[in-house]
Amino acid sequence: MELTPRVAGMAALLAILPVAAFGIFRTWWAGAITLVNVLLIAVSLYLLFSPNDGAGHNSHEEAATGEEAV
């Protein structure tokens, strides 16, 4: 099975269930902070596994002119 951005994001969002339990049975603000952390991790995993468009630091125009980063 290939790990796609959608699957990685959904797997990370499964962590919201323990976060909800933590927020209910502990203090609400600790649950809110934990929820923000889980969402940041889920978005990071989605961006990590998503395909890029190929336009990066070394584009074809820079390579053609012979300019390179030092």
Candidates 4, 26, 49; CA nearest to 35 is 26
Q: What is the structure's pLDDT at 68?
A: 61
Helix or strand (DSSP H, E) at 48: helix 28-49
Q: What is the structure's pLDDT at 60?
A: 54
Task: Indicate the residue type of 25.
Answer: F
Write out the chain's pLDDT in tens, 70 residues: 677 777 777 777 788 888 888 888 888 888 888 888 888 888 888 888 777 776 666 655 555 565 666 5
Q: What is the structure's pLDDT at 13?
A: 77
Specify the DSSP class assigned to residue 50: S
pTM of this structure: 0.57
Q: At what angle do helices 28-49 and 5-13 cross, to 10 degrees?
A: 170
- As a whole number of Å, the end-to-end CA separation of the chain is 41
Q: What is the structure's pLDDT at 1?
A: 64
